[in-house]
Each structure stands twice: as structure tokens, then as C-alpha cells.
Amino acid sequence: MPETVRGPVAELGATLMHEHVFGLSPEILWNWPDLPEDWDLERRAREAAGKLDALKAEGVDTIVDLTVVGLGRYVPAVQRVSELTEVNIVAATGLYTYDALPPYFGNRGPGSLFGGPDRLAEFFVRDLTEGIGRTGVKAAMLKCASDHLGMTKGCERVFRAVAEAHLETGAPITTHSHSASKGGLEQQDLLESLGVDLTRVVIGHAGDSTDVAYLEELVARGSYLGMDRFGIETISPFEDRVAIVAEMCARGHAGRMVLGHDSYCFNDRFDADVVRRRHPRYHLLHVSRDVLPELRRRGVTDDQIHQMLVGNPRRIFA
């Protein structure tokens, strides 16, 4: 059964595969706790639970929280949210960087200043099998990233560790990819060379692209496409995002796409008022209220929508 923050569940139901509950900056919170965007766990947890309850009312049962090290993961806060909402929250492990590793890992391991063993895979496996920190919450998905810089040495170390943890535990993998440079192909090449079955991989942010040939190539190698940034229209506008999903469905690929927003319930790294003004549809309800009706208008069937929201997540976590 899939693991969630509350423990294993029999069914995930309708699932958004790329979201975040909290994105935090611990050193800022430790040193300047009186900033306007102050962090009060109970207040923020209740706000987040309210947003998830609204999502539940729209028919979504589960979110996959892809906040890992590098994005301000703090699982005790997510546990409190989970106590306050019926929505399932699936936790992830991994490390988020486009280039260099955080010094804790960058100064350890092969090729580093001080050498020694690479402990990344060890940490990831522990999160998956024993729990994150002292919370007892087991992660259920692995995450790695590369962006416009390509597969830097730091990124490659994370990908190798993620592959090792995947092979040891069977946990599925999701990536952050840079669609403009067709970065998902480079990710597939490396993961496949490390023994990863690409049918267990979601190429995240594939929906940023309108290049059908690129997306067809990713699908042909077996991976899922993360159509998961609905609401971030500065990268790709609403019209393009729904059009590419509809086109890929028409080509028979509903069984290889998952949906999401890449949104946060609370993120101290951005000014919330500015985000609301510039990205008014960047919120958890956009897929349910705007995207799905538009997909239906474009000929996407309810069976295909069910496949993307329910069937594919079920298979990914099987």
C-alpha cells in the first residue's frame, strides 16, 4: 500500500503528482523570526489544511509533496497539516539542486575536498524505509533535478544516489527537468545507464514544452510526463498547457501523463502578494476548476482524465 504522512493507505484516489505544502528557509526563520512573513506553525498548518480541504471538495484525494532537501522540507509541520485535513499527503526524499551540492554533501564523497564515502543514497534509503528524521513518516518517492545548466557534477551525484536508492527500495522517481533544452532526455539517458526502469520515472515539468516530438520521445522510452505547472503562465501560458495535454491524449498517451501545479500552501521564498498578482491561477484549485473543464471542451474524455488523475498515480506507486 502507498505510504502517506499518516501511514499506508489502500487507495490514493484522484492525485496531484507535483505539489508542495511548505517551502521554508530555516536559517532566515532561526535568525529573523519577526519578519512579516513570520512562521507560526499552528497558524500556517491551519491555513494549509484549509486549502487542502477546499481541494478535497473539488474531488482531489491526494497530493504528492515533492519538497525535499534544498527546498525547505520540514516534515513535522506537514504532519500537523495532515492531522487537520482528510487529504492524503505523500512525502518525498531526494535533493534539489541545479548545480553544486549543499556543503554538508559537497565536502564529503568522491572528488570532494575532503573525500570519503558518498552518503546521499544512504540518507534517501533511510527516509524511505525508516522514516524522515524522527517523525516516523516514510517517504514514498525519490526526487532529483537538473535545469538549464544540464547534468552538472553535483546533479549527477544526486541522480546516481537516487538511482541507487530506487534499485534498493523500488520507490518511483520524479525529476525536475528543463524542457526548453529537452533536458528530460539527458535524465533518461543517465538513469537508464544506472539500471533504472524508465517506466518507473516521471519527467517533471514536461508540460512546459509544446514540442510534441520531444514529448513523444520521452514517452517512447516508457516514462511518465509531468504536466505539472498549471498556473505558472510566465513559462508556458494556459492555452499552450491545456493544448499539449489534449494533443497527447489524442495521440493515445493519457496513460503516460500526470497532472499538478507545483504550487505551495505556504512558501517564504516568494512574496505572496506579488505571486497572486502575477500568477492569479497559481493555486491548488486551478486544475479542478479551470484545466479539467477546458480539457473536456477539447475532447479529452472522462476516462482519460481518470487515467491521468487516478490510474497513473496508482500504477506509479504500485
Question: Domain segments of the chain: what residues?
Answer: 3-317
pLDDT of residue 36: 61
Q: Which residues contact 255 (CB under 8 A, 6 or more apart)?
A: 307, 311, 312
pLDDT of residue 167: 98
pTM of the entire predicted model: 0.96
Distance CA 206, CA 27 (A): 32
pLDDT in tens, the chain (318 residues): 899 999 999 999 999 999 999 999 988 888 887 776 677 899 999 999 999 999 999 999 999 999 999 999 999 999 999 999 999 999 999 999 999 999 999 998 888 888 888 999 999 999 999 999 999 999 999 999 999 999 999 999 999 999 999 999 999 999 999 999 999 999 999 999 999 999 999 999 999 999 999 999 999 999 999 999 999 999 999 999 999 999 999 999 999 999 999 999 999 988 888 889 999 999 999 999 999 999 999 999 999 999 999 999 999 999
Assigned C-alpha cell, 143 = 526526487
pLDDT of residue 37: 65
Exposure string for 67-77, b = 16+ CB within 10 A, e = fewer: bbbbbbbbbeb
Largest Cα span, the chain: 58
pLDDT of residue 171: 98
Give binding residues as ranges: 18, 20, 143, 176, 205, 262
Instruction: Determine how β-strand 173-176 pairs with β-strand 141-145.
Output: parallel
pLDDT of residue 232: 96
Give binding residues for Zn(2+) as ranges: 18, 20, 143, 176, 205, 262
Assigned C-alpha cell, 116 = 570519503
Q: Which residues contact 1 (CB under 8 A, 6 or more apart)?
A: 8, 9, 10
Instruction: Assign domain 3-317 one CATH number from 3.30.750.210, 3.65.10.10, 3.20.20.140, 3.30.450.20.
Output: 3.20.20.140
Instruction: Determine how β-strand 7-8 pairs with β-strand 224-227.
Output: unpaired
User: Could you tell me how many helices (H) and strands (E) the chain has, helices first?
Assistant: 14, 11
